[in-house]
Chains A and B, each alone.
Chain A
Amino acid sequence: MYTTDLTKQPGKPDNVKPIGPAEDSALVAAFEARVAADEFIEPKDWMPEAYRRTLVRQISQHAHSEIVGMLPEGNWITRAPSLRRKAILLAKVQDEAGHGLYLYCAAETLGTSREEMIEALHSGKAKYSTIFNYPTLTWADIAAIGWLVDGAAIMNQVPLQRTSYGPYARAMVRICKEESFHQRQGYEAMMELANGTPEQKRMAQDAFNRWWWPSLMMFGPPDENSPNTAQSLRWRIKRETNDELRQKFVDITVPQAEYLGLTVPDPDLKWNEDKGGYDFGEIDWDEFYAVVRGEGPVARERMTARREAWESNAWVREAAAAHEAKRRERVAA
């Protein structure tokens, strides 16, 4: 998930440049024909520079999201309320680390090293999903994340299994299986709370209230303000627009909430017979862009935690490298 295009301002397509004159038009035409025929592009194939750049940005953003996303959930592993829940959550967060790893590997096939990507994250140059800048206040937040955040992730990622870049598409196939497992576990945990004691019900509704809108924001800016969508659709990096995916998510999730007996925190939500989907209220886009700019409620905590983990453990990575060098020297001697 977390692949929506997080450009800093709406309406400024500063990332995808039109195909430059420097690129051989015959190569470009051949590339576009392959993409149009739904062929996978592989690392050694020729590709336009802008395609490569867009993919590196999108895949690394996705990878960073998996890694930063470990923090809000990791916050509850030590406090999980039963041994079974502790094991499920540990396994889930471990899966997310694995997703981060496959995605970094997929991005590396495009010629950018993991160190460069991590450096870009820590300097604030690279983005990660806005959703992880919200705090996990109660155990119900863990259930809500599984249900809603992993649910939105699946919605976003299922079409990416057919994205035009081969390594990314293949990473997605594996990741999607695990995300749907997470979603089911989250929903099941939410069900336990929604059917639980009055305190648990309160926790469940409160978590739902706080996570609903940020989950809708995960699909990115509205189509009219999503400058790169057209190009990404043409290159089949994306297969559906932000608004299409968001609508699908709402249509699937609202009945799930009703089944749990939870109230969707949107007074404007109502079924629209004509479109066969729900109409829903206006998303607070000011909040969305503020969070994209790094002003989310716990953005500082998240980035501080990532930087600290990286910097305070630099000596471990240095030691491993030094040891490996010594070992090689010994073998050579």
Chain B
Amino acid sequence: MAEQARPHGAFDAPSDAHDPIRAGYVLRLGDDSLILGQRLSEWCGHAPSVEVDLSLSNLALDLVGQATLLLGAAGDADTLAFKRDVLDFRNCLLVEQPNGDFARTMVRQLLFSTWQHLLYQRLAVGTDEQLAGIAAKAVKEVAYHRELAGEWVVRLGDGTEESARRTADGLDWCWRFVPELFEVDAELEEACRCGLAVDPRSFEEEYRASIAAVLQEAKMAQPADQRPILGGRRGHHSEHLGHLLAIMQYLPRTYPDAKW
């Protein structure tokens, strides 16, 4: 991938030098959006109603758009999306979880979008100009994702017996992946130190309170802590990601010389 001179922010090294800390951080954010966008697009044409189909594809479209900008800030967006293998993906494990039923999809969305919203609010006023610009645009989209997912979790949690059971199952499935969202490893710590990244622990309390409020409105029990599953940020993913990539990347990999 050619290191193009891109408009970097104040804290970056000169644009002709590689900045692995920045690229790594932006990649985490871009991969989160890309993989969740890919997951949501699997629903297309199969949702519970035309209206839900519209909202899910709307979410997927926003996320793919974010991924395009974020991966573009880390290198060539298409090369990064279609030519990396599992070990080089930096997304959190939550977003690669299979859709399951609609309840699990909505719980996953709530858990991720709430985190993404709190993070992007902060990044939008951050010091890296390019990242702040992307976050400022995305934060409005993400606010809507958070709201939509929250409304559905409330509806399903406080709907019928069946929907309540399915929503509890969805929460049970996803809850183990929440601690990873607040994990600060050496790489993230470095990115925080240079003022590029936001330390997620700074909004963990707000996050937990927000999720608890939605669950309460949904008349759902607060989930018990589960043993955290970690590894996504280091390229150690679930078995599911390889299959997702096999589908997503098949054309550019089969026809490496083709342009589309």
Contact = CB atoms under 8 A, between A and B. Distances in A.
Question: Do A and B belong to a common assembly?
Answer: yes
A33 B217 CA distance: 58
A93 B258 contact: no
Given A90-B60, A315-B163, A70 B45 contact: yes
Interface string B217-260: 00000000000000000000000000000011011100101111
A305 B43 CA distance: 12
Contacts of B259: 192, 196
A82 B78 contact: yes
Contacts of B81: 83
B155 A196 contact: no
Contacts of A313: 47-49, 102
B154 A323 contact: yes
Given A67-B50, A100-B50, A319 B45 contact: no
Contact of A197 (B44, B50, B51, B257): B257
Contacts of B156: 316, 319, 323
B58 interface: yes
A112 interface: no
Contacts, number: 131
Given A90-B44, A93-B44, A319-B156, A104 B50 contact: yes
A330 to B, nearest CB: 10
A84 interface: yes
B65 A87 contact: yes
Given A79-B248, A197-B255, A323-B159, A87 B64 contact: yes
A200 B195 CA distance: 46
Interface string B55-77: 00110110011011001000001
A98 interface: yes
B45 A94 contact: no
A139 B58 CA distance: 22
B53 A81 contact: no
B10 interface: no
B4 interface: no
B166 interface: yes
Nearest to A92: B57
B53 A70 contact: yes
Contact of A85 (B34, B45, B54, B260): B260
A141 to B, nearest CB: 13
A200 B257 CA distance: 10
Contacts of B247: 78-79
A81 B252 contact: yes
Interface residues of A, number: 46
B77 A83 contact: yes
B159 A318 contact: yes
B159 A97 contact: no
A144 to B, nearest CB: 14
B61 A91 contact: yes
B207 interface: no
Contacts of A83: 34, 64, 67-68, 71, 77-78, 81
Interface in A304-322: 305, 308-309, 313-320, 322
A309 B42 contact: no
A71 interface: yes
27 contacts: A67-B50, A74-B44, A74-B45, A78-B38, A78-B42, A79-B247, A79-B251, A81-B82, A81-B260, A82-B78, A83-B67, A87-B64, A90-B41, A91-B61, A98-B54, A101-B54, A104-B50, A309-B46, A313-B102, A317-B48, A317-B49, A319-B159, A319-B160, A322-B159, A323-B155, A323-B159, A326-B158
Given A78-B41, A199-B258, 19 more contacts: A80-B251, A83-B64, A83-B77, A85-B260, A86-B41, A87-B61, A87-B65, A90-B64, A94-B57, A101-B50, A101-B51, A104-B50, A305-B45, A309-B47, A315-B160, A315-B163, A320-B159, A323-B158, A326-B158
Interface of B: 34, 38, 41-42, 44-54, 57-58, 60-61, 64-65, 67-68, 71, 77-78, 81-82, 102-103, 154-156, 158-160, 162-163, 166, 247-248, 250-252, 255, 257-260
Interface of A: 67, 70-71, 74, 77-87, 90-91, 93-94, 97-98, 100-101, 104, 139, 189, 192-193, 196-197, 199-200, 305, 308-309, 313-320, 322-323, 326
